[in-house]
Structure 1
Amino acid sequence: MAGKFSFTLQEYQEAAVKYRPDLLMLPIIGIGDTLQFMTGRPGIRYKERVGNLTGDAQFAPYNPQRAVDYNLGIEFRDLETYFGSVVANFEPNSAISTLLGTGATKGDGQMTTPTARHVLARIAKNLSEHLNDAVWNGRRNAAGNTTADLFDGFDTITEKEIAAGTIAAEEGNYMKFDDAITAANAVDIAKEILFSLDPRLRAQDLYLYCSQDFVDKYNEGYLLTHGGIPYNTQYGQGAVEGSNGKLKFCPLYNKAGSKFMHVSTKSNMLVGYDQMGDVENVLIKEFAPFILSYIATMFFGVQFETIDKRRFKTIEIAV
C-alpha cells in the first residue's frame, strides 16, 4: 500500500506544470479570511499607479455667462507588488503520510487517495499563512529571509505616511488615544471614532479594522452599559452603536498587537498580486537524495487606494 503512494520526481514535476495556475492561486485563496474584507487587484507586476480624483465644480442657477475652472486633481499612489521566492525542501513519503494522517483525503469525497498534486497543494496553501501574518506588519527588507520582509504591510505604510505628515489630525484622517483600551472605555472610544469621521466617510459602508481584543472589550463594555435596553438582544455587536450598522467591526487575528486601527471602505484596501504573467512559476527539483524542493515565485503587495479623509481614517492606540 505504501508503494502506491510513492510518486516519482517526474510525476511531481508534471503536476507542477499542469496545475501551475492553481498552485500559484492557492496562497491568495489561503488569505481569504482577510482578503474578503479588502479588494484584490490581480495582474499587478511591480508597480501600478492608483488614483483618487478630486475637483470642485457645482451646479448653480442658469447663467450662460458664468464659467469656472474645475481644478481637476488626481492624487496618485503606487500599489507595488514585490517579487518573492521560496524554496521549500520536503520528503515526499513524509508529506503523503501527513496528508493521510490529517484526513485531508476525506470529507466531500472528491479525493480518495493523495496524489502529487495534493502534496504540492498542501505546501502552496501553507505559504498563505505567512502572507496573512504580514498583511499589516510586513516591512520591506530586500535582504530578508521571511515573508514579513517581502512587502510593506498596511501598518508600516501608515507609519511612513504619519512620518511624512500626510496622515495627520490636520488632514482629518488621524486621531490618537493615549489611554489603554479597557472594557470600561472601549464603547466610548468606538463612539468617539465614529463621531470624528468626515460626514462623507461616515455615510458609507465601512469596516473598523481592529484586533479581536478590541471587539471583545467593546462587547463587554456594551453589555455593562446597555444590558437593560430592550433592543440589546445579543452579546456580540456587529457594528458600532449609533452608526446605523454602517461602521462594522472587522476583527482580524493578524491585527493582534497592532498600534493602529483603520476605518475605510473595502474598495480602498488594495491587495495586489499578478497571477496573469509568465514570470511567476512553480518548479520541482531534486538536489539531494530522497528530498525534493518546491520552488515558487510570485508577486505580492498592499496599498491604500487613497488616504483622503473622505474614504479613510487611522486611529493610533496604546499597546
Structure 2
Amino acid sequence: MGTLNIQSTDLAKSAVQYQKELLIMPVIGAYETLKHMTPLPGSRGRVVMGSLGGDIELGPYDPSRVDNSGVSIDARTLEVFLGSVVKKFDPNEAWQTVYGSLLTQGEELKQVDMAQQVLFYLAAQLGKKLNESIFSAKRNDAGTTTKDLFDGFDSITEKEITAGNIATAKKNLYEFGAAFTHQNAVDLLKAFYWASSDELQSRPTKMYIPVNVMNAYTEDYQQSVGAVPYNQQYQKTFLEGSNNLCELVPLVSKKGSNFIHLAPQGNMVYGYGNGLAEETIAVEKHAPFLLDFVATIFFGTQFRSIAPEALFVGKLHA
C-alpha cells in the first residue's frame, strides 16, 4: 500500500462540503440501539414533550349533562446537550484503516473520495461510544466523556425512582425477587410482563434488556420447551406468551444495567441536532504530522411519559 494521497487541505474542504452528513454519523454509529427508539431531530437545549390525560365517555342520553372533568397534560423535558471533542489523529493511519475496509468490500479506490471516507470513519467512531452510553450516561458538567454528556435512560429512571415518580405504588415499577439464571429467566420475564398494565400488554412494545438476560432467556426457553411443534427456532425475538406483541431487545448499551424497561418504541425518545448552526465538524492542522478532528454535536434522551400505560420498569435483583 502506498503513502497517504490526500492533504490536510483536502480533509478540511471535505469537512465543510459534507458537514451535514458528518454531523449525523455518530447517531448512525449508534444505530443498533437507536433503531429501537424514536428520534427528535433538530433538538437543542430543553424540549418540552407532553402527553394528554383525562377521561371522556358516553352515558345515557341527557341533553343537560356536561362533562366538566379536566384534561391534564403530563409534561416531560428532553434535555439535549451540546458535546464537543478535539481529537488528534494521524491521517495516514486513518487512511490505511479505510483503505483496508474498502478493499474488503471490493470497491475501487479510484472511485472513492478518500478525504470523505476518512472523515466519515472518524465521525462514526464517535457513534460507538454514544451507543454504549444511551442508558448509562449521567450528566456531569465537569466530565470529559460521552457518558458525562447527557442523562441516559437508566440515569433518568434512577432520578424518577428517588423522586417517587416511578414506584410500585404507581404501578410503573416492578422489583425482581431473584437474579436471572438459565433456569428461571423465562418465568421471570413473563411475570414481569404480565405485571404491566393492560394497556401495555395490548399494544406492540419493546423490552430493553441486557445481553446476558437474553442469553439466559434463550437457554431457559430451549430447555423448558424443547422440540414442541411451535418451537421452530432457537433464537427468540418475542416474549413467550405476549402474542408477538412484546419484542425482546438485548442491547450492548444495557451492559451492567440495574433495570429492564418495557415501553412502546414511541415512548423512548432521543434528540439530536441534525446539523443545527451550533454543530460543527472541522479538521485543523497545528502539528507537523497530526491533524485535529474538531466536532460539536447535540444529543439527549428522555421518556415521553412515565405513566404505567406507557412505561414499566423492572429493577433487577441485587
Matched letter for residue 168 of structure 2: A
Q: Which runs of 4+ in 1 moved over 3 A?
A: 108-114
1:136 and 2:114 correspond = no
Query: Where in structure 2 are the equivalents of 1:45-124 lying within 5 Å?
Result: 45-100=44-99, 102-107=100-105, 109=107, 111-112=109-110, 115-124=114-123
| Aligned equivalent of 1:289 | 288
Task: Please tell me the root mean square deviation across aligned C-alpha atoms, in Å.
Answer: 1.5
Q: How many residues align?
A: 317
Q: How far apart, in 1, do the equivalents of 2:32 and 2:108 lie?
A: 23
Deviation at 1:273, TM superposition (A): 0.4
Name the stretch that deviates more: 66-75 or 128-137: 66-75
Unaligned 5+ runs, structure 1: none
Deviation at 1:110, TM superposition (A): 6.8
1:272 and 2:271 correspond = yes
- Aligned partners of 2:82 and 2:299 also within 8 Å: yes
- Aligned partners of 1:151 and 1:301 also within 8 Å: yes
SS in 2 for 1:288: coil
SS in 2 for 1:104: helix
Q: How far apart, in 1, do the equivalents of 2:17 and 2:104 lie?
A: 24
- Aligned partners of 1:99 and 1:114 also within 8 Å: no
Per-residue CA deviation, residues 15-58 of structure 1 (Å, 9 max, x unaligned), is 01000001101111111111110001101011110011001121
Change (3 A) 1:57 1:103: closer
| Aligned equivalent of 2:254 | 255
- Aligned partners of 1:6 and 1:92 also within 8 Å: no
| Aligned equivalent of 1:17 | 16
Deviation at 1:104, TM superposition (A): 2.7
Deviation at 1:276, TM superposition (A): 3.9
TM-score by length of 1: 0.95
SS in 2 for 1:136: coil
Deviation at 1:178, TM superposition (A): 3.4
Deviation at 1:258, TM superposition (A): 0.9
1:2 and 2:10 correspond = no
Deviation at 1:107, TM superposition (A): 2.1
Change (3 A) 1:202 1:110: farther
* Percent of aligned pairs sharing the same letter: 36
Change (3 A) 1:107 1:200: same
TM-score by length of 2: 0.96
Q: How far apart, in 1, do the equivalents of 2:147 and 2:103 lie?
A: 32
Name the stretch that deviates more: 133-142 or 103-112: 103-112
Q: How far apart, in 2, do the equivalents of 1:34 and 1:262 lie?
A: 13
Deviation at 1:105, TM superposition (A): 4.6
Matched letter for residue 199 of structure 2: R
Matched letter for residue 52 of structure 2: L
- Aligned partners of 1:105 and 1:114 also within 8 Å: no
| Aligned equivalent of 2:210 | 211
Q: How far apart, in 2, do the equivalents of 1:228 and 1:272 lie?
A: 44
Deviation at 1:9, TM superposition (A): 2.3
Unaligned 5+ runs, structure 2: none
| Aligned equivalent of 1:31 | 30
SS in 2 for 1:13: helix
